[in-house]
């Protein structure tokens, strides 16, 4: 990836560089020509003003002006020609003084100045001619013509010629310096692109390496990226994902360990009793007793399988709530009938406190039956012998709250948050029953959440535990 990104940067840089140098020469030449042309017009204007002030107004004599123009030619690096009002061109300004000297006083066409350009100039127009070869000078020039106008009358004009090869020479030197600077900049940018590309790809390579480890089930390592941009955010997201996946993996291991243990125990018991019956260790007259035990262990495995199936359904978010109207007091009484034998064996007193004689709710009857069943089963399991369990309903606006309180062993404050976890069990030595798989309350929580209702647990260790949940009241 680094090579690809860096190659892309360098390619874009080189293409840009080639495009720049391909047009830079012409751009610089045009710039210098335009700049020179502007300055020539400015100087031509000054020359005309100087001439009119000095000559027309009689401030200087002709010899002084001739000297001044010679100095000006050397200063500008240009040739200055004079055009009189009749269109005659004077290469040397001294010729204006001595018109008898005709060797250097020629008509315009003999100096490669076209008649139409002289005509426009004598009409009071400023003219510019580019890349015109002047045989008298021996090289192509830029020519600027500026008329001298006094009281709307053209007295004459000046032609200023500047060598184009000289301008190109200046442009070429500037071009070469600019190319050197651009090459230097390309080198700096290339180094910067290398560092930048490496800063991008280095954490991405690290994230790729970590992602492969995550795919192999190793969620222990974390990435440290301090780029201060989206790459750092991505790394944090991957760290969070790894943390969550690690928790899922740990839960999976616990889940498999618990399943193995909870399946192995009843299977070991069943196998042991069957072997004992087979080899005669258990006498035939005791078969009925042990068949009951085998039946209970088998039922235990069946119930465990049902709970696993239920959990799998809940885990895959396949809980379908079939809302219907039903009477909650009757449902509670129906559940209690299932536990009559266990209630009698533990001498537990049940107290039912209903808010109304009949209270109708709107929920999934079968699933709420499962919720009440699991909570009452849990309450009986941990209720002390001879103590009581209270089931109470209260009306809260558009909700019905069902509370189940047992006078049992209670829970420590630190354990309250764990009761909703899969396979969570208290120390079994504290309870009188050993048949719990630690799945009942997890199922309860998932069903209530699917109803978008609330459930909570409160307890005082050694005294009582209270579960309460809400369902929608049928209005």
Give the count of domains, the chain.
3
- My answer on whether 415 and 311 are in the same domain is no
Does pLDDT of 105 surpass 60? no
Spatial distance between the Cα atoms of 106 and 197, rounded to a whole number of angstroms: 70
What is the percent of the chain where pLDDT is above 70?
A: 82
- My answer on whether 299 and 282 are in the same domain is yes
Residue 162 has, within 13 A of its CA and on its CB side, a CA count of 26
Spatial distance between the Cα atoms of 461 and 463, rounded to a whole number of angstroms: 6
Does pLDDT of 424 surpass 50? yes
Spatial distance between the Cα atoms of 131 and 351, rounded to a whole number of angstroms: 116
- My answer on whether 392 and 357 are in the same domain is yes
113 token code pair: 């100045």
- My answer on whether 414 and 347 are in the same domain is yes
What is the percent of the chain where pLDDT is above 90?
A: 18
N- to C-terminal Cα distance for the chain?
64
- My answer on whether 29 and 152 are in the same domain is yes
Fill in the DSSP letter of residue 71: H
Q: Which domain holds residue 286?
A: 230-315
Please check whether residue 207 lies inside any domain of the structure.
Answer: no
Please report the pLDDT score of residue 21 as a whole number: 72
Phi and psi at 35, nearest 5°, equal -65, -45
Which own/partner contact pairs does 234-238 have at CB distance under 8 Å and 24+ positions apart?
234/207, 235/203, 235/207, 238/207, 238/210, 238/211, 238/214
- My answer on whether 60 and 112 are in the same domain is yes
Instruction: Assign 259 to helix, strand or coil.
Output: helix
Please report the pLDDT score of residue 277 as a whole number: 86
Please check whether residue 221 lies inside any domain of the structure.
Answer: no
- My answer on whether 308 and 350 are in the same domain is no
- My answer on whether 354 and 267 are in the same domain is no
Of the three residues 122, 149, 170, the one that is the final residue of a domain is 170
CA dihedral (287, 288, 289, 292) in degrees, to 10, reads: 120
59 token code pair: 């401030």
| CATH of residue 264 | 1.10.287.130
Confidence of residue 331 (pLDDT cuts 50, 70, 90): very high
Maximum mean pLDDT: which of 264-268, 281-285, 305-309 = 281-285
Please report the pLDDT score of residue 434 as a whole number: 47
């Amino acid at each position: 990836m680094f090579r690809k990104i860096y190659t892309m940067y360098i390619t874009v840089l080189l293409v840009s560089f080639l495009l720049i140098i391909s047009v830079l020469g012409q751009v610089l030449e045009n710039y210098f020509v335009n700049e020179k042309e502007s300055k020539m017009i400015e100087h031509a204007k000054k020359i005309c003003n100087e001439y009119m002030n000095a000559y027309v107004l009689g401030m200087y004599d002709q010899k002084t002006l001739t000297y001044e123009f010679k100095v000006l030619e050397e200063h500008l690096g240009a040739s200055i020609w004079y055009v009189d009002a009749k269109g005659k061109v004077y290469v040397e300004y001294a010729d204006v003084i001595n018109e008898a000297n005709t060797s250097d006083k020629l008509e315009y066409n003999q100096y490669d100045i076209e008649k139409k350009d002289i005509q426009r100039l004598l009409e009071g127009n400023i003219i510019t001619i580019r890349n015109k070869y002047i045989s008298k000078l021996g090289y192509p020039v830029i020519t600027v013509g500026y008329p001298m106008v006094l009281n709307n009358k053209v007295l004459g004009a000046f032609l200023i010629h500047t060598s184009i090869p000289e301008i190109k020479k200046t442009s070429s030197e500037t071009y070469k310096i600019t190319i050197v600077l651009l090459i230097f900049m390309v080198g700096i940018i290339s180094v910067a692109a290398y560092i930048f590309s490496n800063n991008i790809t280095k954490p991405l390579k690290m994230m790729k390496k970590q992602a492969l480890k995550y795919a192999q089930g190793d969620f222990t390592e974390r990435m440290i990226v301090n780029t201060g941009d989206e790459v750092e955010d991505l790394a944090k997201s991957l760290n969070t994902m790894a943390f969550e996946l690690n928790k899922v993996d740990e839960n999976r291991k616990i889940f498999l360990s618990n399943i193995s243990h909870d399946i192995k125990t009843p299977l070991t018991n069943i196998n042991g009793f069957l072997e004992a019956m087979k080899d005669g260790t258990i006498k035939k007259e005791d078969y009925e007793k042990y068949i009951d035990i085998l039946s209970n262990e088998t039922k235990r495995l069946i119930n465990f399988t049902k709970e696993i199936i239920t959990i799998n359904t809940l885990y895959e978010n396949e809980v379908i709530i079939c809302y219907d109207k039903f009477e909650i007091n009757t449902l509670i009484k129906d559940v209690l009938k299932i536990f009559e034998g266990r209630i009698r064996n533990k001498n537990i007193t049940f107290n039912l406190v209903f808010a109304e004689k009949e209270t109708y709710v709107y929920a999934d009857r079968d699933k709420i039956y499962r919720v009440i069943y699991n909570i009452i089963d849990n309450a009986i399991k941990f209720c002390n012998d001879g103590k009581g369990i209270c089931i109470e309903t209260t009306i809260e606006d558009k909700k019905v709250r069902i509370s189940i309180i047992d006078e049992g062993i209670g829970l420590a404050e630190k354990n309250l948050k764990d009761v909703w976890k899969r396979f969570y069990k208290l120390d079994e030595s504290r309870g009188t029953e050993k048949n719990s798989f630690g799945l009942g309350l997890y199922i309860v929580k998932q069903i209530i959440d699917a109803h978008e209702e609330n459930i909570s647990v409160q307890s005082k260790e050694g005294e009582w535990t209270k579960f309460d949940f809400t369902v929608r009241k049928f209005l």
